[in-house]
Amino acid sequence: MTYLAKPKLHHPSLPKNKVGYTRRDYEGAISTLCAGCGHDSISAAIVQACFELDIEPHRVAKLSGIGCSSKTPTYFLGNSHGFNSVHGRMPSVLTGANLANRDLLYLGVSGDGDSASIGIGQFVHCIRRGVNMVYIVENNGVYGLTKGQFSATADRGSKSKRGAVNADSAVDMVALALQLGATYVARSFSGDKAQLVPLIKGAIEHRGAAFLDVISPCVAFNNHEGSTKSYDYIREHNEAVNRIDFISPRAPITTDYEPGSVQEVLQPDGSVLRLRKLAADYDPHNRIAVMNYLQEHQARGEVVTGLLYVDPEAHDLHAHLNTVAAPLNQLDEAALCPGSKVLEQINASLR
């Protein structure tokens, strides 16, 4: 499919961020997804988060698998390198890319078909390893590009557009991520930008495996009555446990809060996440309590959203592997090749 490129000209009065870019500099090509697709809202949220965090676009690598969600990296961050890999295999490609250059920011975009079915193994293992990344699943419970088959995150009892009822249990990506040791876990809704943008920002600032399950209704195949991933259903059942008010290393507190209703989370990179509690008894630092809370509330039919879990002392894969600070892709012969003298010693030991 071809389309007209967006004009590159910007209005001179467009505000610039601290690194000199306007919001338009974070956009990509025009989306070819259906009008009203939740995924486009997520792309817009990524654009806003990167713009507001003053990230240089070329310092981001965006990777995806196959599916509607995996097409979206074309529609944001046009000045970043992107990689549309094979179905379900974005996590391994991202892991390799991250190993090659630890200095870039890695944004993995996937869907529920890509990550909960064909790619569930790779999802599991890249979370286990603690790859420093933002892993977003744009979750609509349905295969869009192949026209409406149930995906593995479709809830039992949810009805397809053709009227079939799903009899299989749903894969809960958030529960999996928590069990596997993700150090930043959030769930949000593509229709709630005010919640989503700060969650993405928090994930970007996090140094470790950050996982976001974003419910993103499919207007073409899964937005009807009887679906548990429709706009209406999610709006009715969304129960946010907290709100990130802002993330900043420096910004002063400007709002008054009820005592005990605010929790500040110091991230490993020095930034501060300010969480406004909506559920009074919710502690996002206690992994086991979080898992219990989610199970209990989901059993009541609630879609629990917010920053569900964060480990302020997270370590990433590079820490586990004790790799050098310099990106591996920048090491030269002197750093990598032991040379002929050492080889002679090795030869001598083999006689």
Instruction: List C-alpha distances in Å: 232 to 191, 297, 334.
Output: 10, 19, 61
Q: Of residues 22-41, which lie at the interface with other proteins (CB under 8 A)?
A: 29
Specify the residue, 179 or 263, whose C-beta has the smaller distance to other proteins.
179
d(C-alpha 14, C-alpha 21), whole Å: 9
Q: Residue 320's Cα: distance from chain center in Å?
A: 22
At closest approach, how far in Å is the CB of 100 from other proteins? 3
Structure tokens at 334: 């002197």
Beta carbons of 26 and 76 less than 8 angstroms apart: yes
- State whether residue 27 is helix, strand or coil: strand
What's the rounded Cα separation, in Å, for the pair 232 and 227? 9
CB of 93 to other proteins, least distance (A): 4
CA–CA distance, 6 with 28 (Å, rounded to integer): 9
Considering only residues 36, 121, 157, 249, which one is a binding residue for other proteins as defined by CB under 8 A?
Answer: 121
**101 makes contact with other proteins (CB under 8 A):** yes
Q: Which of 34, 86, 262, 272 binds other proteins (CB under 8 A)?
A: 86
Distance of CA 2 to the CA centre of its chain: 28
* Cβ burial, residue 24 (10 Å; 0-12/13-18/19+): middle
Which one of residues 10, 36, 54, 96 is an interface residue with other proteins (CB under 8 A)? 96
Binding to other proteins in span 40-69, by CB under 8 A: 56-59, 61, 63
CB of 144 to other proteins, least distance (A): 18
- Distance CA(165)–CA(179), nearest Å, equals 29
CB atoms within 10 A of CB 153: 25
Binding residues for other proteins, total number by CB under 8 A: 64
State yes or no: residue 328 binds other proteins (CB under 8 A): yes
By beta-carbon proximity to other proteins, the closer residue of 89 and 274 is: 89
Bridge-based pairing of strands 149-150 and 142-143 is antiparallel
Q: Residue 174 corresponds to which amino acid?
A: V
Residue 266 or 324 with smaller CB distance to other proteins: 324
Q: Which residues contact 175 (CB under 8 A, 6 or more apart)?
A: 291, 294, 295
Token pair, residue 140, equals: 């609509």
Q: Does 335 bind other proteins (CB under 8 A)?
A: yes
Taking the complex as a whole, the smallest distance from the CB of residue 326 to other proteins amounts, in Å, to 8
Which span (10-18, 142-150, 205-213, 340-348) binds other proteins, by CB under 8 A?
340-348
Amino acid at 164: A
When the beta carbons of 251 and 346 are compared against other proteins, the nearer one is: 346
**Which of 85, 158, 271, 305 is in the footprint of other proteins by CB under 8 A?**
85
Residues 282-311 that bind other proteins (CB under 8 A): none
Shortest reach from residue 77's CB to other proteins, in Å: 9
Interface residues with other proteins (CB under 8 A) are 1-2, 29, 56-59, 61, 63, 73-74, 78-86, 89, 91-101, 103-104, 121-122, 124-125, 129, 318, 321-325, 328-333, 335-340, 342-344, 346-347, 350-351
